[in-house]
Amino acid sequence: MRVLIGITGGVAAYKVCEVVSTLAKSGVAVRVLMTDQAQHFVSAVTFAALSRHPVYTDADFWSARSDHSDHSVYKPLHIALGEWADVFIIAPLTANTLGKLAHGLADNLLTNTVLASVCPVLLAPAMNTDMWQQATVQRNWQMLLQDARYHAVGPGAGRLACDRVGPGRLAEPVTVVAHITSLLHTSGRRDLAGKHILISAGSTREYLDPVRFIGNPATGRMGLALAAAAQHRGAQVTVVHGPLALELEATLPVGGRAIATTTAAEMEQAMLTCLAEADWVIMAAAVADVRPVDTAPHKLPKKDLPSQLPLDTVPDIVAQLTARRAPGQCIVGFAAQTGEIVAPALDKLKRKQLDAIVANPIDKPGSGFGSSNNEAVILSADGRQRQVVHGSKLALAHQLYDFLLEDFLLVSERQP
């Protein structure tokens, strides 16, 4: 996996340090090239240390570089780098470089390397709000995104370095790294374009009083990874989620729809309301099975807490979704299990008439609830299985989409 990172002259260049460091630590081969203006904000020495490789600048423009497959062949640096990269990211992308790319101009190492490459290019713009909102900048942006090579991450909105509040912030490093990871998996394919995917994420809370509730440790990371992977592959995404930590709220899909819920009843209503417009439904949330019969409107004193808590059964959201689905809709469930995971997942798959189910262990270190990683067995209604080894939840999300797309291809091949 080879990632080329182009850095242009913006104050947000400091945030790219975390992107480079994270990728390099994960085993990705990273090469950094910087414009002259970029070096006014962060030194080339910093990026060389973080990437474990010398940084390329305009001073190196006409230096020759050996081709990796044949060390007797030497090429200009911009051609060698362009051929080397699996993914090329430009962050921060300034208005100046955006304009050059939109019109096919190349006057430095970075822009020449873009034109000499054919890999996916991820654009992460960052600039003052008024600059970003200029009609000419927006025209260049839309023009560039018409080219299938180019993918966008951000910009976000908030307080900028100039104290202006509005759009123009560089996307957060965790978001940028996730998009790069997706592009490395898909090579830029938008194979979910045209699909609307409805995803549930996180846990639900069933309150006894305003401060006590029945819940579970689900954080929503898996559902949000599914949303990110789907959006990176071109899908329209709706996420119905339970309570999220602040850092996870920042990873909700930009440009998608997010519906916040707390209780199972609220999640049920939101999922059923959105069902009709969805092509695929993925129920990744860990929904409560029971709730207190009575909910107090104020905090109960400890002495008034019941010694036995009467409980009601929570309606089964997945069963309602499968019962109400339209022809052609695909519904996928999750089965978080301890011990043996396949048999109970197969039972749930058949009992709830799902198209597929993801069985994942929650009793293994570094997997399941609260972890950034997971492992699973994906099972389909037609008997196929896929083992997903321990890895990031984003990697699991992509393998699930690969599995579902393969399933639809098999169905198409079986039809006369």
How is 261-329 classified by DSSP, letter by letter? --SHHHHHHHHHHHGGG-SEEEE-SB--SEEES---SSPPPGGGS-SS--EEEPP-HHHHHHHHPPTT-
Is 17 annotated in the active site? Answer: no
In 3D space, the residue among 173, 155, 172, 164 whose CA is nearest the CA of residue 128 turns out to be 164
256's CB contacts (< 8 A; 6+ apart) are 227, 231, 236, 237, 238, 239
Which residues does 119 contact at the CB level (< 8 Å), separation at least 6?
Answer: 4, 82, 85, 86, 87, 88, 149, 187, 188
Distance between terminal CA atoms of the chain?
40
Q: How far is CA 199 from CA 54, 160, 333, in A?
A: 42, 32, 10
Residue 70 burial by Cβ neighbours in a 10 Å radius (0-12, 13-18, 19+)? exposed
Given the structure tokens 């996730």, which residue do they identify?
178
Catalytic residues: 162
